[in-house]
């Protein structure tokens, strides 16, 4: 009887081992299936969007026979009007100029402010930075873009009109609004980049007799430079793709302005203004898809730059 009990106990243990083994295998397979399905869905969505935007964007040149050279160098944006050759007039140079102007100017103004704030939060007063400044930055990140645009329309545009001249609408107003919008993004990423610098590097610099400012300027900022550049490019990517807030303050005039306080336009502002007033398949609608394709290509370029900079972050 005792021998039979031992055999039954062994059978039960073997059954439990087999069950545990099969459960582990099933759990592994299920986890692999879930992650594989998630990745497949993401790839399908990304490829579908790329194909759809590209096919629609090229329709301006393949269906409506517009010139690619005229698209990038032309000064007139009148997709509903045909030229002497029967092609739509789709000169997007003023829009491309406006997008790059507000993006570059916003990055130039914002970068020193954001890096200075990041240095203060990490090296000068970390406790105050984490308790007070970090929540403020997170609050700025969460504010909707329409609120930024409304503030710009109510405060920035009248201020420029009364103190500088013009209508107040233009690249200057768009630059100020975008600077405020991308400031928390660049600051947060700059904080992460500076905090990633190993403490041993700081201690070695101080041990060699360098002051705190010499350590910050000559060691920490230089060491974290790839991360800081990545933060700036991230901010530029957001500024380049911002639509609503810029549309509310830039004036939306499809010309290259002669000053910063004259109305201008960007790719996104014209895109958002025209998408509700065109018919799918018409030349006006295809021209807007061409603008969307340019925005998509610029986003890809920004991502490539960010990945290249990310590879240089070796401490």
Residues 6+ apart with CB under 8 A from 230: 189, 193, 306, 309, 310, 313
State residue 87's pLDDT score. Answer: 86
* pLDDT higher than 90, residue 34: yes
State residue 12's pLDDT score. Answer: 58
3-state secondary structure the chain: CHHHHHHHHHHHHHHHHHHHHHHHHHHHHHHHHHHHHHHHHHHHHHHHHHHHHHHHHHHHHHCCCCCHHHHHHCCCEEEEEECCCCCEEECCHHHHHHHHHHHHHHHHHHHHHHHHHHHHHHHHCHHHHHHHHHHHHHHHHHCCHHHHHHHHHHHHHHHHHHHCCCCCCCHHHHHHHHHHHHHHHHHHHHHHHHHCCCHHHHHHHHHCCCCHHHHHHHHHHHHCHHHHHHHHHHHHHHHHHCCHHHHHHHECCCCCCCCCCCCECCHHHHHHHHCCCCCCCCHHHHHHHHHHHHHHHHHHHHHHHHHHHHHCCCC
* pLDDT higher than 70, residue 6: no
Task: Place 4 in a pLDDT band, splitting at 50, 70 and 90.
Answer: low
pLDDT, one tens digit per residue, over 45-86 is 999 999 999 998 898 888 888 888 888 988 888 888 888 888
* pLDDT higher than 80, residue 213: yes
Other CB atoms within 10 A of residue 201 CB: 15
Spatial CA neighbour of 238 closest among 306, 171, 284: 306
* pLDDT higher than 80, residue 11: no
Our measurement of the distance from residue 188's CA atom to the centroid of its chain's CA atoms, rounded to an integer in Å, reads 14
Whole-model pTM over 0.85? no
Task: Place 43 in a pLDDT band, splitting at 50, 70 and 90.
Answer: very high
Task: Place 15 in a pLDDT band, splitting at 50, 70 and 90.
Answer: low
pLDDT, one tens digit per residue, over 155-206 is 999 999 998 888 889 999 999 999 999 999 999 999 989 988 888 888 888 8
pLDDT, one tens digit per residue, over 77-131 is 888 888 888 888 888 999 999 999 999 999 999 999 999 999 998 888 888 777 8
């Amino acid at each position: 009887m005792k021998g039979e009990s031992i055999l039954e106990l062994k059978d039960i243990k073997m059954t439990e081992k087999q069950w545990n083994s099969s459960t582990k295998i099933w759990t592994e397979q299920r986890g692999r299936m879930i992650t594989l399905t998630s990745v497949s869905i993401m790839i399908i969505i990304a490829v579908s969007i790329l194909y759809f935007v590209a096919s629609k964007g090229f329709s301006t040149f393949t269906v409506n026979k517009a010139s690619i050279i005229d698209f990038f160098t032309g000064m007139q944006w009148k997709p509903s009007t045909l030229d002497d050759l029967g092609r739509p007039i789709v000169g997007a140079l003023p829009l491309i100029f406006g997008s790059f102007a507000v993006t570059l100017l916003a990055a130039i103004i914002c970068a020193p402010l954001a890096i200075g704030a990041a240095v203060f939060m990490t090296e000068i007063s970390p406790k105050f930075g984490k308790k007070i400044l970090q929540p403020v930055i997170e609050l700025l990140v969460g504010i909707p873009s329409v609120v930024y645009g409304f503030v710009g329309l109510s405060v920035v545009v009248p201020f420029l009109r009364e103190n500088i001249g013009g209508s107040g609408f233009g690249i200057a107003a768009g630059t100020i609004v975008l600077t405020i919008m991308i400031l928390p993004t660049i600051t947060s990423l700059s904080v992460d980049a500076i905090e990633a610098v190993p403490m041993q590097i700081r201690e070695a610099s101080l041990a060699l007799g360098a002051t705190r400012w010499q350590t910050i300027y000559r060691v920490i900022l230089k060491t974290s430079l790839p991360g800081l550049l990545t933060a700036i490019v991230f901010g530029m990517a957001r500024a380049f793709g911002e639509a609503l807030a810029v549309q509310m303050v830039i004036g939306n005039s499809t010309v290259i302005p002669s000053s910063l306080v004259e109305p201008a336009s960007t790719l996104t502002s014209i895109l958002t203004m025209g998408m509700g007033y065109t018919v799918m398949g018409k030349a006006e609608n295809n021209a807007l898809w061409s603008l969307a394709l340019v925005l998509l290509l610029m986003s890809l370029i920004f991502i490539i730059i960010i990945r290249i900079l990310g590879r240089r972050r070796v401490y």
